[in-house]
Amino acid sequence: MHLATTTRNPWRRLLAFSSLILTFYVGRLTKSDTYLYTSILSCLVFLGLRLRAWIATSGRASLPRLAAIVLLAGSLPLALAMTPYALTEEASVAHFAKSLTKDQGGEATLETFELRLYLWQDAVETGLKSGSLGLGPGPHLERPPVADRQFLQRPFEAHNTVLDLYLQGGLLAVMALVWIVGAAMSVAWRAGFDALLVLGASTIIFSMPHLIIRHPIVWFSLAFCLVAGNPTALRPQLAEPRVP
């Protein structure tokens, strides 16, 4: 997406959009609920950022731009006016949302929700007992009572990046991670790279039900945001040393 929105070469743009199709297709093959709602939220954030950039661009006012501003200004009253009609279709909307999940909102989905809720609560209590200093590397949670139906083995992790890091490294480790992710997204924001900003946002969303900091692609994404958003500051450090 970053290549598609920054290049002026039509062939590169076509290649970038083609790779997006393959990415979404393979992601849906995993039947991951997390991938589904991360993709939906990321697309909405990206559309909002592109619309903001389009409206804020310099130039004389045009009819499409004025129409977009009017629609944004009237979006809240329109949403309030449509609320009674949306409530009448609540069952249809809920059924459609459940149909997108891997178990269509069935027993497996409910068991996963119960398991995550138990683990997150236990992680907070265990982390507080350690004085927010952390217990060191590795999982530290007891076997949940709902795990017998999940066929999971001990020991257990919290399945949440912030909570797992809080258990292992304490509050200081969480603050360091927040600083790194915040710095990457701040650089992407100042550079005007909407796709990289959405990349950071999707990483945060996907980290909520998973421990993802052990995957190299996460650190590649953060480094990509830092380097692409601030190339002039990093060029001296990346240059080859001169031979005296």
pLDDT for residue 161 is more than 80:
yes
pLDDT for residue 232 is more than 50:
yes
pLDDT for residue 105 is more than 60:
no
The pLDDT assigned to 90 comes to: 43
The pLDDT assigned to 37 comes to: 83
Q: Which two tokens stand for residue 6?
A: 């920054």
Range 185-210 average pLDDT? 90
The pLDDT assigned to 80 comes to: 57
Q: Which of the two residues, 213 and 63, has the higher pLDDT score? A: 213
**pLDDT tens by residue, 126-155:** 899 989 898 888 888 877 776 555 555 566
pLDDT winner (highest mean) among 40-54, 63-77, 84-98, 136-150: 40-54
User: Residue 64: which pLDDT band, with cuts at 50, 70 and 90?
Assistant: low
The pLDDT assigned to 5 comes to: 86
